[in-house]
Structure 1
Amino acid sequence: MDRPVVACVLAGGTGSRLYPASRSDRPKQFLALDGEESLLARTMDRTAFADERYVLTRASLADDIHEHAPEAGVLIEPDGKDTGPALVYAAWRLRERFDEEPVLVCLPSDHHVADDGAFAARLERAAAIAVKTDGLVTLGVEPTRPATGYGYIVPARSDLGGDGAYAPVDRFTEKPDRETAARLVDAGAYWNAGVFAWTPSALLREARESPLAPLVSALEDGDPDGGFDAVESVSVDYAILERATDAVVTPLSIAWDDLGTWDAVGRAVAAADADDAGNDPVVGGVLSIDATNNVVAAPDSHVSLLAVDDLIVAAFDDRILVAPRDAAQRVRDVVARLRERDAF
């Protein structure tokens, strides 16, 4: 690579679907859910190949970032308005910090990856593709099931077996129902992992033709706060990638999961070390009698399960959550109700 590679890790969210482990003062990226290190620390380990690394976060979390990622620089976004404004802001700021324009590898801080070395190699490959194409590169995960909790990327062609292979994106599909997800998997679509590579100029070029154009103009005028005020909360996928003419996808052919729900955390733990009783304990002691496929997270409690299946049981501090495992996405509804009562 003839230019610097910079890793930009997004770590400004709360992770409301992992309540009660994740709270406003204890977001999920600081939790150790699939190992001994926090999710953020593990993500930083995977980006060690980069010439420089930055964490993009909100002001209230900046001090804690240094504890989990002491080797990284910290970028503080003016406001939390989803990944679209955040990544445009990061591209602008990081371009200013280098004499030669870098290539950015942008990724969330809350994913489970089975093979860190292979993941890092594919990030480096994506950076090289971004330089070669001068486009926006998204990494697509090969699906293992017709998941309804992920978006999908449909490539313009299906022959993407080689390590350096990539193809134009035909279309993006947001979280589908199960029947549509099954058709997408059969058609060779990929899960949208939210992992990207691009140069700052390439992203800003596309952002100028998107709903985020007011933010780009404000950044050019030296008014990032005003730019954030001028745009709505929106994902980078919806605001930019779905409209871009130069987006390409390259396969991320490793075991991966987005640790955004208790169901996903259970899958990650089960893949590493399944419990003899058929449950997926995360933390804490569990007694299980005629109970299977439950996810238990209770670091300071002992949980006994009797004749129940497919449950989430999470107990942290003075909070307890019990829910069907297939309702994992709806935990955010609980958080929304608690926020209405100022009890989150």
Structure 2
Amino acid sequence: MTFLYKADPARGAVWAELLAQKMPELPFRIWPDIGDPHAVRFLAAWEPPRDLATQFPNLEILFSTGAGTDQFDFAAIPPALPVVRMVESGIVQGMVEYVTLAVLAQHRDWRTYQAQQRAGTWQAHRVQPASSRRVGVLGLGTLGRAVLERQRSFGFPCAGWSRSPQQLYGVDCHHGPEGLQALLARTDILICLLPLTDSTRGILCQRLFDQLPRGATLINVGRGGHLVQDDLLQALGTGRLGNAVLDVCDPEPLPPGHPFWTHPQVVLTPHIASMTQPETAVDAVVENLRRYRQGLPMVGLVDRTLGY
């Protein structure tokens, strides 16, 4: 019974050390050193091999090494094989840090002061209270909830939107098509943390931007497929949106010469908002393996009918 890791080999080496300490009875291998393919029972991967069913006929669980599974081709994954996305504290903390940085930079006019510094301009602008800046989050999963809790601690009026009804202390929660319209109308800083599904692909488009207050800021830390790029460029050009912070794009990386590289109203980062931390990721996997062996539901088990 073997655990196989197929992702960044440097992180895999850390996984090997940690699993040897926490679950020494489970042999661990790093791709492409798969050993006996019939012995592979558990696979952790960012992108599993295309011939998954035939290469590992005895596979019992497929773990995603990331918080999402939209990079998986579910048509190539056996329907009965459990797929588990990564839910671990390192991913959550990293995302909270990144979004907080982006929100506060916008709230405190950081880019304005950077531009003034380059121009040699010493000019103070009024400091607005957090209570005057309304934050809205698309997606109320583990990451969305953690992000909202931190923003609420600064005093920002916070709201969230999800497909189904949710409740979160101190947050105005909305759901469904009518709820989305209500969320957008009261949001100055919009944060996308949705899973990428057929229903959310292209959701960040002109129709959505037109429902935001003029000059709003977009922060996309979901997936590049959520954004219609031409619509964003148009919204920035007309002033419908004031700024955008993009940690994800489609494709990644963007091709040379793409307008986002040099756009004065776009902050672009290379998909680094949050990364799986080996120490906490291994703890999450070990806990799920124990739950699996005890017949308990695993944390992060994907519902394929929903796509997350």
- TM bin, normalised by shorter chain, reads 0.3 to 0.5
Q: Which is greater in Rg? A: 2
From the two aligned structures, give the one with the greater strand fraction.
1
Give the TM-score of the pair, scaled to structure 1: 0.30
Higher relative contact order (CA 8 A, sep 6+): 1
TM score, norm. by length of structure 2: 0.32
